[in-house]
A and B are shown apart, each in its own frame.
Chain A
Amino acid sequence: MGAVVALDQLLAERTIWRGKAPARASSRAQPTGLAALDAALPFAGWPPASLSEVLVACDGLGELSLLWPTLARLTAEGRPVVVIGPPYLPYAPAWHLAGVALDKVTVVHADATRAMWAAEQCLRSSACGAVLCWPKNPTDQALRRLQVASETGHALGFVFRPERAADNPSPAALRLHVQAHPRRVRVLKCRGANPPPHSIPMPAFALA
């Protein structure tokens, strides 16, 4: 125990689990853009400098629209966003319409192992604001590496995984499950607090 750590700092960083509704968050908050979700999460948004998991049954359920406000905010601040191994082509006009500054977005295509390597490099480099990746059957160890890398690099890591991974434990600080009928997002795990009991409605698909 070399270093002296202030108690309120420990509490603020959510490294201690207190089992009751959290106090409202600090200046480091990374709001999701979905007010109801922010209210339900202990950090008032994405856990800063951590890995978040988004579980979806299939593509096209609005999983990206969950992130777009965050990406728009980060890119507007000039922080780069890296998209690694996306399942389809990220279609520039739509991303632009969502407010994402395209000149800050880099897309990386790679096979499964190299994608994990690239994700870890990006997260660890502390040069990126957010890193999105779609790993194929990642091991627990690989995810843990990503979590550690996000902490080292103070970056937001997002991992998109199929719904069936929900039953397995994960080192991610936040796990969200995007459900189709109706469009809702359920918090499976959030570090530092109990997951909220209710799922949170997502905005229905609407024409821009």
Chain B
Amino acid sequence: MHWACILFPHFAVDGVQRQRPPSARPLAMLTGPAHRRVVHAVNDAAAARGLKARLSVQAAQALTSDCDWVEFDASAMERDRQLLAAWAYGFSSQVSLAFDDALVLEIGQSIALFGPWPDFERRLRLELDDLGFRHRIVAAPNAWAARTLANVHDGLGVDAPQLSGAIGRLPVAAAGFAPDVTEAFTRMGLRRLNQVMAAPREGIARRFPPHVLDWVDALCGRVVPLRMYRPPSTFQRRMEFDHEIELTSGLLFPLRRLVGDLATFVRARDGGVQRFQVVFEHDRFESTVLDVGMLAPERDALRLLDVACHRLDRLTLKAPVRAVSIVADDLPPFVPPSGDLFEEHPQGALSFDQLRERLRARLGDTEVHGMATDFDHRPERAWRRQRERNEPLAALADARPAWMLEKPILFRARHRVLFGPERVESGWWDGDDVRRDYYIVETDAGQVAWVYAASGERGPFMLHGFFA
């Protein structure tokens, strides 16, 4: 077992349904030109009402009227394929999308990392269920055998010795040949693949196009190069709704799906995301863009969603939303936080950076800041708010109040002077000239206040701070 094939039997429908809240309504996808619309794929509920692929739309509508009709979108399907490839890339460096509705990945070397195949397979299935795609998984010594066996089997693992037997038992109809080839084999009386393989090669080479023999050879293990998937360096995903969403709560489900996809994507490339944009598209207005930024790269879906939701809480949308997309250009490497093995952490513990992230997301970037001293004699300029931490500068040696009023107010309380005046005279060079005499006073209530008057005068006093 060196290759696994994951086949998606209901790829198109799953791709649509995973974007919608779970429901039991029938759903049918339509395709074809306007004059000859046919059903492309249906979900289980629709199949139960008799709908099936290639049915004309008139016939389908005659069978049931209570059904969601969705236009089949090939580009959406391609995006889903890319997503799944990106996901699989997290398990194996060799992933290929060479087959239409399936992806194959090399597992021989991954097993060393992810454990024996049954455990590995269980994990793949679990994550695929989370992603919302129904699937069949088969492992075999080569990619072609895995792909072909997946046509009829699910959960099969074949080793090299049993390979020819397992392939030989396959009916020709399930071997993945073109319909006319299958029919020709059947008419020749060859119903199983072992009969085909036993037939003289020259005969088959003469009667059939060359790719038929190539396919059979590849099944038996002849090495054929596969085009491998290379993960892109940016992430972009869009989700369109068939109705307008007016409430923010209604955006939660699509957002969760998109953020989940983003997390899957960055995790697979062993990176993180530091900044991404959520774009809400409206019908008649320009799109609303929500910037989500974090202090450090993150890749945990729940955390990303947490931050995005807090930002969303503060966002006012000017119109109902038609589509949501997520764009992430900046995908830096992810450095996992280093923790002490013996450190005791209560449940739900966050690192301080994560905590600050959460506060900033909910309250706004400017509302959460640090503090630092600055070199300036003027009290208003002797401190700075800074958002990021850095080294504090040396402070002034004089007594300064613990609290400062942002705007000084007139000081009227009865008081006695404890200390003063302290002359502050500075700033003549930058136009913000300050000439004040500062006093430390005690009010009758016992407050110790920092007040000032124009230089040389004993009043009126302005209150500038408290010594608390």
Residues of A within 8 A of B (CB): 57-65, 80, 86-98, 101-110, 114, 117-118, 121-122, 124-128, 152-154, 180-181, 183, 205, 207-208
Residues of B within 8 A of A (CB): 345-346, 348-352, 354-356, 358-359, 362-363, 367-374, 379, 382-385, 389-392, 395-406, 418-419, 440, 442-443, 445-449, 465-468
Say yes or no: A88-B404 contact (C-beta < 8 A), given A60-B467, A108-B367, A127-B349: yes
A116 to B140, CA, bound (A): 58
CB pair A60–B370 under 8 Å, yes or no, is: no
Most chain A CB within 10 A, of B374, B402, B447, B449, is at: B402
CB pair B350–A127 under 8 Å, yes or no, is: yes
Contact partners of B449 in chain A: CB under 8 A: 60
CB pair A125–B447 under 8 Å, yes or no, is: no
Chain B, residue nearest A91 (CB): B404
CB pair B396–A121 under 8 Å, yes or no, is: no
Contact partners of A98 in chain B: CB under 8 A: 402
CB pair B352–A118 under 8 Å, yes or no, is: no
Chain B, residue nearest A65 (CB): B468
9 contacts between A and B (CB under 8 A): A60-B403, A93-B395, A97-B397, A107-B371, A125-B348, A127-B350, A152-B346, A153-B346, A207-B399
Contact partners of A128 in chain B: CB under 8 A: 352, 355
Say yes or no: A62-B467 contact (C-beta < 8 A), given A121-B355, A121-B358: yes
A16 CB to closest chain B CB (Å) equals 23
Chain B, residue nearest A64 (CB): B468
CB pair B370–A96 under 8 Å, yes or no, is: no
B319 CB to closest chain A CB (Å) equals 27
CB pair A108–B446 under 8 Å, yes or no, is: no
Name 4 extra pairs, CB < 8 A, besides A93-B382, A102-B372, A122-B359: A59-B403, A106-B368, A106-B369, A109-B367
Most chain B CB within 10 A, of A80, A86, A127, A183, is at: A127
A102 to B352, CA, bound (A): 15
Contact partners of A125 in chain B: CB under 8 A: 348-350, 352, 354-355
CB pair A114–B399 under 8 Å, yes or no, is: no
A108 CB to closest chain B CB (Å) equals 5
The 10 closest A-B pairs by CB, nearest first: A180-B446, A60-B466, A92-B383, A60-B447, A88-B403, A64-B468, A127-B352, A91-B404, A93-B395, A125-B350
A87 to B465, CA, bound (A): 11
Residue in A105, A118, A154, A183 whose beta carbon sits within 8 Å of that of B346 in the complex:
A154
Contact partners of A106 in chain B: CB under 8 A: 356, 368-370
CB pair A80–B352 under 8 Å, yes or no, is: yes
A118 to B362, CA, bound (A): 9
CB pair B465–A92 under 8 Å, yes or no, is: no
A87 to B405, CA, bound (A): 9
Contact partners of B402 in chain A: CB under 8 A: 64-65, 90-91, 94-95, 98
Chain B, residue nearest A109 (CB): B367
B127 CB to closest chain A CB (Å) equals 29
Say yes or no: A90-B370 contact (C-beta < 8 A), given A59-B447, A103-B392, A117-B362: no
Chain B, residue nearest A102 (CB): B392
B360 CB to closest chain A CB (Å) equals 9
Most chain B CB within 10 A, of A89, A110, A180, is at: A89
Chain B, residue nearest A179 (CB): B446
A13 to B397, CA, bound (A): 42
CB pair A108–B363 under 8 Å, yes or no, is: yes
CB pair B355–A102 under 8 Å, yes or no, is: no
Contact partners of B345 in chain A: CB under 8 A: 126
CB pair A102–B403 under 8 Å, yes or no, is: no
A127 CB to closest chain B CB (Å) equals 4
CB pair A126–B346 under 8 Å, yes or no, is: yes
